[in-house]
Structure 1
Amino acid sequence: MFLLISTAIVIAVSTADLFLSPHKNEWSVKRTSPRETERYQGEQLSITVTNHSAFSMHVRFVDDLPRSFQPSYPNNIFIPKQRAATIEYQVWPQVRGKYSINYLYIRYTSMIGLWEKQVTISQPDTIKVIPNLSETKRYLASAQTYLLHEGLKIRKMKSGTGEFSKVRNYVVGDDPRKINWRQSAKFQEIMTNEFEPEHGKHITICIDCGRMMGVELEEGNRLEKSVEAAITLAAAALDNGDYVAVVVFSKEIQAVAPAGKGLQHLDTILQTIYAVQVDAQESNYPLAIQYAQTLQQKRSMIVLFSDVATFVHEDHHLFYMKQLRKRHLFLMLGIEDRLLQKTISQTPETTAIAMRKSIAQKQYLYQKQVMTKWEKHGLPMLEAPADQLAVTAVSHYIQTLNRGLL
């Protein structure tokens, strides 16, 4: 009898608790998400739950996010009756691309908590994960500070070259030939003319997304760092008033952003290349270079982000690169091999370590010899650590303009 009575009471309370929970038609949910977010940057999303029923409830949910997103969900959120509550949560996207988020999976408990219901709500949305722009923002905030932080500086131009910029006070070290005597007489102090590189130059950025660009680094792969460095270089050129075009290629041409001017063109470049991925095929360099020359008829500076080792071990690329050098200024940038550098810096404590170090040194010296050979033909090749690739590209671009080579 006791078991029967206890069971009846539990069933009665459970049934009452079930009817005292909100019905799925008595509340609504709306997600708020940004259109774009940067890779590796935490982004805040939110959902607004509106409870129209006469009963309160506790809510927990999971969003229909891709696996490359790392979310942090709150748990057991209380929603009062006849009220609306906004629930915020953080996500950290790891991979670039365009992603669709279609559903929200929500569980809510009844008043006493004996029942928990699950509802799948359709909330179609789209989020674009663009490359990380931290290096670009640092450059646009202060170009000189950005380069000095990396141990580099913008060099002075040759005397009398470039476009007139402004008149400023004379300081020790300025060229006396650039003193503006008219303004000096007017202000009763020595004034000098300042020049800056000419604007309106053409820069063509080629990004290799072939098989060798998929080598993994500590953060991302070679293609990720190359894309971020290319965007920083494009921002520097656009901020200087130059025209910038971008070509992404592997075996075929993957994406093209035609030449444009002004910082608003940076968004066009971002929307063109933000979703490019590594292709598992060998890169077709002749096709890419020929397409870049077709895209840009005027003399320009062509910057190629690729794997230097590919050119070191394949000499046939030198032929069509020499043809390119007759009309354009060429520069190739790659990411140095951290494993090779680590092996070279080891202390030869054992015979095995000494053998590995000697082979690594031999490979490094051979690579430097080939790079010197290319540079003698007017085709410089530079390698930089992954975290310094962007500043190396921007520094070389500024030095090229200051020396009047373009």
Structure 2
Amino acid sequence: MKNFFKNYIAALYFTTRFFMAGAVVVSLMVIRFFASWLSIIPFIALLLFAGIFIVEYILLFRKRNAVYAQRAHAERFSNGDENEVKLFIENKYPFPVYADIIDEIPIQFQNRNVHFYTRIHAGKTSVIDYTLRPVKRGSYDFGKINIYISAFARFIERRFSLDRANSVAVYPSYLQMRKYQLMAINNRLSEAGLKKQRRLGHSMEFEHIKEYVTGDDYRTVNWKATARRGSLMVNNYVEEKSQPVYCVIDKGRLMEMPFDGLSLLDYSINASLVLSSIAVQKEDKAGIITFSDRMGTLLPADKRAYQMQKIQEVLYRQKTRYLESDFEKLYITIRNKISQRSLIVLFTNFASLNGMQRQKAYLKKIAERHLLVVVFFQNTEMKKALEKEAANLKDIYIQTIVEQFEFEKKLIVQELKQEGIFTILTPPQNLTVQVLNKYLEIKARQLL
């Protein structure tokens, strides 16, 4: 009895068409009391209405497992990117059906309107594509696929609630990482907005002697080899390799500020993953350091094949601490744990000039032993407020305060530059390109 109710009663839903047709039949019955000329027309309409209902009910409910559905997506989702999800809906009825599909996506998206409508031919499968953009790392749980099937008249629907619950982990933006990796392999990084860097001089890493071709630098001519071969030969140099590159990520409270859904911490994590992958691709060693009020993870720089997997796992686990970051502990850790001169890319955020000045002494000490690049963020919402035309006195006050904040950010850049510290002040959405440009510039200028 319980199964009968579940399969044949609870699964029955009346559509808007059913109620509209019922309203027409009832209206005809009422009108017949005042217009006898309608005769048996209302009764014919009632019989037709009941007949369609019975036929459609029999067609929809005579087969138990009449619909099959499956959800397909990548094993991992990429944070901040559009991730494709496919729904495969198979119609096992011997006639075409109309399908109203609701997919129960993870609660993190706060969206209860993942709703699709399609017509599926007999014995065929319909494929529905949609995308999801997560903005936080972690585990996401999908629920059921609910399908409401109707037949020719669409008076009633039969609900199929298929349990397709599964979990997917959202990792730092590996799709962005792969995009830049492919561009680097094909020498097409400029398409992503990266500047071509002119190499100044030559590194000390000699590779081989080769025959001169048009465009080679005359300063690299090897005269001894030219005399021996009787043709112009040049020395070929490569960029220095195995240089340590550390992405240092601040997990303090200021890094939880959101822009376009993602926090500054997640922007920094995504940029760190891309920078690390490009560094390893260029045969440098990549490492990760995280800190807040206490030290977090320290993954030593390496360039072996499994290093990128270790970096992804480390970045996946990072969370904001919501406390003031301790730059003194960071300096002590770098001094004690990193002996070789390295490129230190510090992702942080300064709320004010005073906030930076409290940490400047530690930044200077790090810069004495390593090549330090401090990355912090422009507030794009403040920039929008500046671009708006002031309509009243309140708007003028707001714009004055915003201008003060923007001016302080520029002062921070100038003070750090005076101390010989490289700086990147960037909107969050341009972070990855700006960081890669700075890394390529440092490699081209042989500063490390």
Same topology, TM > 0.5: yes
Alignment partner of 1:265 is 2:307: yes
In 1: Cα distance, 2:82 partner to 2:404 partner:
44
Secondary structure of 2:275's counterpart equals helix
Match of 1:316 in 2: 358
Match of 1:104 in 2: 145
1:41-120 aligned at under 5 Å gives the runs 41-52=81-92, 56-66=96-106, 68=109, 73-80=115-122, 83-97=123-137, 98-110=139-151, 112-120=153-161
| Equivalent residue in structure 1 for 2:207, among 164, 167, 183 | 164
CA shift for structure 1 position 49: 3.4
For residues 110-166 of structure 1, give each alpha carbon's deviation from its aligned partner in whole angstroms, at most 9, with x where no partner exists: 454332122322112233444444476246414865358747332324346234366
Match of 2:68 in 1: 28
In 2: Cα distance, 1:57 partner to 1:354 partner:
61
| Equivalent residue in structure 1 for 2:273, among 221, 224, 231 | 231
Bigger drift between 5-14 and 207-216 goes to 5-14
CA shift for structure 1 position 85: 0.8
| Equivalent residue in structure 1 for 2:423, among 377, 381, 384 | 381
5+ residue gaps in structure 1?
A: none
User: How many residues of Structure 1 are paired with residues of Structure 2 in the alignment?
Assistant: 403
Question: Structure 1 27/359 Cα, relative in aligned 2: closer, same or farther at 3 Å?
Answer: closer
For residues 178-207 of structure 1, give each alpha carbon's deviation from its aligned partner in whole angstroms, at most 9, with x where no partner exists: 312355356654332132222111111012
CA shift for structure 1 position 246: 1.6
Question: Structure 1 88/204 Cα, relative in aligned 2: closer, same or farther at 3 Å?
Answer: same
In 1: Cα distance, 2:314 partner to 2:417 partner:
32
In 2: Cα distance, 1:11 partner to 1:183 partner:
99
Match of 2:4 in 1: none
In 2: Cα distance, 1:35 partner to 1:179 partner:
52
Secondary structure of 1:303's counterpart equals strand
| Equivalent residue in structure 2 for 1:19, among 58, 68, 78 | 58
Match of 1:333 in 2: 375
Secondary structure of 1:389's counterpart equals helix
Secondary structure of 1:123's counterpart equals coil
Conservation of the 8 A alpha-carbon contact between 1:312 and 1:370:
no
Question: Structure 1 76/190 Cα, relative in aligned 2: closer, same or farther at 3 Å?
Answer: same
Question: Structure 1 112/370 Cα, relative in aligned 2: closer, same or farther at 3 Å?
Answer: closer
Secondary structure of 1:268's counterpart equals helix
For residues 55-110 of structure 1, give each alpha carbon's deviation from its aligned partner in whole angstroms, at most 9, with x where no partner exists: 65332211111352878654133241xx2413222113141433111211111124
Question: Structure 1 201/265 Cα, relative in aligned 2: closer, same or farther at 3 Å?
Answer: same
CA shift for structure 1 position 320: 3.0
Letter in 2 for 1:62: I
Letter in 2 for 1:58: Y
For residues 22-62 of structure 1, give each alpha carbon's deviation from its aligned partner in whole angstroms, at most 9, with x where no partner exists: 44434432222222343554444333334445565332211
Conservation of the 8 A alpha-carbon contact between 2:287 and 2:299:
yes
Match of 2:443 in 1: 401
In 2: Cα distance, 1:312 partner to 1:146 partner:
37
Conservation of the 8 A alpha-carbon contact between 1:27 and 1:52:
yes
Alignment partner of 1:121 is 2:172: no
Match of 1:146 in 2: 189
Secondary structure of 1:313's counterpart equals helix
Quick check: which one's helix share is greater?
2
Query: Which TM-score applies when normalising by structure 1?
Result: 0.79
In 2: Cα distance, 1:340 partner to 1:297 partner:
41
Match of 1:155 in 2: 198
Conservation of the 8 A alpha-carbon contact between 1:96 and 1:275:
no
For residues 305-340 of structure 1, give each alpha carbon's deviation from its aligned partner in whole angstroms, at most 9, with x where no partner exists: 111445653433233334433433322111234466
> Which of 1 and 2 has greater Rg?
2
Letter in 2 for 1:107: Y
